[in-house]
Amino acid sequence: MRGSIIFKIQLAALILLSLVLAGCMTSAKSRYFGKTSPPNANVLRYISGSEPESLDPQIGTGQPEARVYMALYEGLVEYDPKTMEPRPELATNWEISPDAVEYLFHLRKDAKWSNGDPITANDFVFSFRRGFAPETASRNANLGYYIKYAEPYNNHSVFMKGPDGNFYIAKDFAPEAENGAAVAPDKATPIGTETETSKMLRAPAKLTLNGDTFKRAREIQGNEKLKGVFKFNARDFKNPIAFTGKVINGKDGLSQFLRENLSKEALEHCIQGASCDDAHKQVLADGLNKLMESGIYDEQRFAGVTLSKDSQTLLANLAKENKKRADEAKAIDDDIAQTDDAAKKEEKAKLKKKQIANLFYLNRFLLEDVFKDDLAAADLITVEAKDIGVEAIDDYTLRITLTQPAPYFMSLLPHQFFRLVPQKAIEKFGKNWVRPENIVTCGPFKVKTHRPYDTLEVVRDPNYWDAATVKLDEIDFYPLEENTTMLNLYKSGSVDALYNHTVPASWVAEVSRYTDEYLKHPEVAMEYYSIASKKPPMDNVYVRKAFSRAVDREAIAKFRGTVTPLLDFTPEGIFPAYEEARKKIYEEARVKRGMSPEEWTHRNDFNPEKACALMAEAGYKVTKGEGGRCTVENFPVEKINITYNTLESNRQIAEMIQSQWKQNLGITVPLKNMEWKTFLPYRSGVQYEGFTRNAWSGDYMDPFTFLNLFYSEQNDGATGWHDQKYDDMLDNANKTLDPQKRFELLAQAELYVMDQQIVIPLQTQSTNWIKKPYVKGMYPNPGTLFPWKFVYIERDTAKWDQDVANIMKAE
């Protein structure tokens, strides 16, 4: 009895399974993937990725947001549907000054907001100022730091006025080493009408100092020239009689302290007034300067002194800071006491930070506060919105001034951060302006409904200046992240197109057979492993190169099915002009290094034999094995691992690389995985040891977005490596106006950094997505970003897309 029931269940399961299989078979035979018929309404149903963080283009940072913003907002320029190069949008044309510092945009006069208001240059001025406003706290603000005074405005910096009422100029205080770097030429050739603002902007850059008193104090302490400005001199004593009177008669601690430490003779002369000449004043000033160096701060000293609220806060912070420093110093002393190694002792002693009370500028601040009327206060003026280099010359002419020549500035401008936001709505509704009932937009579409996590429906905006070009009535954005779910929706005909990287590895073989739908094109994105290049044993360049050359990238690419192997740092096939320039630079380098073309091509690629030789060169004991492979005997494998964020695809690649290293070098590197948000600070703080998984998608269409990862100590590449020479190479390149020459200089920098092998490049990503053949005007461009006004639904089956691998060449 029991057996027969189980048999029946098994039979039922078998029938079910065969049904399922039959389902798969029939779909495989058809030309299209699943149900393929255009939707009844003129609506595109698009899966846009995760739920947008906000409908405010200055807030949302990711690609899912960018896709939505491209329907709702416009900027001066827009991405070209195929190449993503900037093309005219709200700006019809522009002029660039010969030094590439000033950009003049002529705006179209027929552009309107969704509420019918005209769009003028002032809207751009408002949008840019809001983007950099510290209160907006935009995470993309640093993309626009090239705009003059945008960075100081964004980070609360201050300008400083001298006693003559003029602003101090930055280049007068630049430390010698940095002289000439990143400072705009004084005589920028003006373009457009001359105005007061443009005069201010074209003048040499003003000195900006940190807005925070403590940080400013450190900044001044570290710069001898700046310290000079803060020194007291004779003319600072506006009223020496009052000053000395206070010092001599004062009952408070500070006066007493000054009485004891300033020259008695000078004080006496000045109290008498008549004999207080400049020489005596100078003696007083010198005394004060000396006190500033040694530190006048002491809580008791200030007892009974009336201080302003700012100074009181400052003193409270000072006390806290001092305690912290004292504790740190004590901890270091204890450490030193414990160690016997002299070198270590010295190293530890270096860690001891100066007591902040000694900070020069703070002392001056306090003195100025107490003797307000007698000492000239340094005039600090907060950098304001009106100072940034964006100016409306008239309603339809906009001028942007940069801090330095930046020939690729145009390619930044289509980014969401530079799109227009509505001034009136923002001023009226505050952060609630993005609600569907309040929102005002300026793109080809406007918001109809927004149900977060479910759908964002946008409809054609009749007020849009180019409404005639807009072909779709509506776009429904579905926020979805589950790849299987979205492929189900696609197959059942409920959505028309997906976003990039949405076909899972296990489906690629099946889906890529639908050649009228599957899109696989190179992407402005790459994946790599960062190396903790400052930590032993990875601080040895031979070791780093050995690991890199023991990675079989071809095998990984074959396994992934969608990526192409990468040996350089900028993705392949994205920047053709750059690759051309790089070829030239590489050829020069090849000749210089006396390598044959054959040797050069294979200088970095997979080669176990070379990898083993490199390990031997690094001083490890290598035992030869079969086929060029080897076993590295004494490698400290316990000091390294491969860290990646928990994701199936990351694990697969890590395991592949692990097994390749084991096979080729005999080193089994342990794997370590982490939850994403835990992983991020671990990686960026270079807390990992050995290798960590890393990837980058370009913010804009220029190789600099990749090379920038190793620029300065910001350390986006997460390797801990910083080289002033590399920074200078990039700076020089970016100052070069001729695009071809600039690319060559960038290529030299790339060669330089790749010779250090601080990362192991793995692959150029591919777009890897799918769309129905009746969706036209969507191209697999390197960022998978679409100017929606060109997208439409083709109902004539004869005109449907065919063989989309060549879609970029067609039409």
d(CA 524, CA 698): 6
| CA 542/CA 197 separation, integer angstroms | 55
User: Which pair of tokens denotes residue 306?
Assistant: 């009336």
The least distance separating other proteins from the CB of residue 782, rounded to whole angstroms, comes to: 17
Interaction between residue 66 and other proteins (CB under 8 A): no
**Positions 567 through 626 that interact with other proteins (CB under 8 A):** none
> Can you tell me which of 116, 165, 430, 594 binds other proteins, judged by CB under 8 A?
430
Task: For residue 331, state whether it binds other proteins (rule: CB under 8 A).
Answer: no
Determine if 32 is a binding residue for other proteins (CB under 8 A).
no
Q: Which of 461, 493, 498 is nearest to 482 (CA)?
A: 498
Does residue number 14 form part of the binding site for other proteins (CB under 8 A)?
Answer: no
Q: Is 54 in the site for other proteins (CB under 8 A)?
A: yes
Span interacting with other proteins, options 147-155, 386-394, 411-419, 618-626, rule CB under 8 A: 147-155
- Locate 809 and state its tokens: 């060449």
Which of 161, 218, 231, 491 touches other proteins by CB under 8 A? Answer: 491
Based on the shown chain and the rule CB under 8 A, indicate whether residue 542 belongs to the binding site for other proteins: no
Q: Could you give the string, one character per residue 73-112, with x where binding to other proteins holds by CB under 8 A and - elsewhere?
A: ----------------------------------------
State which of residues 174, 247, 434, 511 lies at the interface with other proteins (CB under 8 A).
434
Altogether, the residues listed in the chain come to a count of: 811
Q: ∠480-484-485 over CA atoms, to 5°?
A: 45
- Per-residue b/e over 652-663, b at no fewer than 16 CB within 10 Å? ebbebbbebbee
Region of 6-14, 98-106, 263-271, 770-778 interacting with other proteins (CB under 8 A): 6-14
Q: Which is nearer to other proteins, 429 or 542 (CB)?
A: 429
Dihedral pair phi/psi, residue 690, rounded to 5°: 90, -105
Least spacing, CB of residue 489 vs other proteins, in Å: 5
The reply to whether 155 sits near other proteins by the rule CB under 8 A is yes
Closest approach of other proteins to the CB of residue 705, in Å: 11
Instruction: Rank residues 105 and 417 by Cβ distance to other proteins and give the closer one.
Output: 417
Minimum Å gap between C-beta 467 and other proteins is 28
H helical segments located in 222-277: 224-230, 240-249, 253-261, 264-271
Q: How far is the CB of 661 from other proteins (least distance, A)?
A: 26
Q: Within 157-196, which residues bind other proteins (CB under 8 A)?
A: none
CB of 431 to other proteins, least distance (A): 5
| Using rule CB under 8 A, residue 44 touches other proteins | no
Which among 415, 420, 469, 455 has a CA at the least distance from the CA of 440?
Answer: 420
3-class secondary-structure state, position 775:
strand
3-state secondary structure of 27: helix
Residues 109-138 that bind other proteins (CB under 8 A): 134-138
20 binds other proteins (CB under 8 A): yes
Quick one: 35 or 583, whose CB is closer to other proteins?
A: 35
Distance separating alpha carbons of residues 536 and 543, to the nearest angstrom: 10
Secondary element (H or E) of residue 24: helix 2-29
Beta-bridge partner residues of 392: 398
The distance of closest approach from Cβ of residue 574 to other proteins in the complex, given in angstroms and rounded to an integer, is 18
Structure tokens at 221: 């302490």
From 298, 346, 338, 761, select the one nearest 570 (Cα to Cα).
761
Do 781 and 81 meet the contact criterion of CB atoms below 8 Å apart?
A: yes
Residue 432 binds to other proteins (criterion: CB under 8 A): yes
Among 14, 18, 31, 35, binds other proteins (CB under 8 A): 35
Q: Is 710 in the site for other proteins (CB under 8 A)?
A: no
- Of 138 and 570, nearer to other proteins (C-beta) is 138
Distance in Å, CB of 346 to other proteins, minimum: 30
Matching residue, tokens 């050649």 = 515
On whether the CB atoms of residues 67 and 477 are closer than 8 A, the answer is yes
Q: What DSSP letter does each residue of 699-757 carry, written as one string?
A: SSSSTHHHHGGGSTTT-TT-S----HHHHHHHHHHHH--SHHHHHHHHHHHHHHHHHHT
Question: Which x/- pattern, by CB under 8 A, does the window 661-700 give for other proteins?
Answer: --------------xxxxxxxx-x----------xxx-x-
For residue 499, the minimal CB distance to other proteins (Å) is 14
CA dist 504 and 649 (Å) reads 9
* 142 forms part of the interface with other proteins (CB under 8 A): yes
309 contributes a contact to other proteins by CB under 8 A = no
Query: By CB under 8 A, is residue 319 in contact with other proteins?
Result: no
Among 11, 14, 15, 16, binds other proteins (CB under 8 A): 16
Backbone angles phi, psi at 296, to 5 degrees: -105, 0
Cis peptide before 537 (omega within 30 of 0): yes
Separation of alpha carbons 318 and 362, rounded Å = 9
Q: Is 513 among the residues that bind other proteins (CB under 8 A)?
A: no
Q: Which listed residue (31, 264, 323, 451) binds other proteins by CB under 8 A?
A: 451
Helices (DSSP H) in 30-62: which residue ranges? none
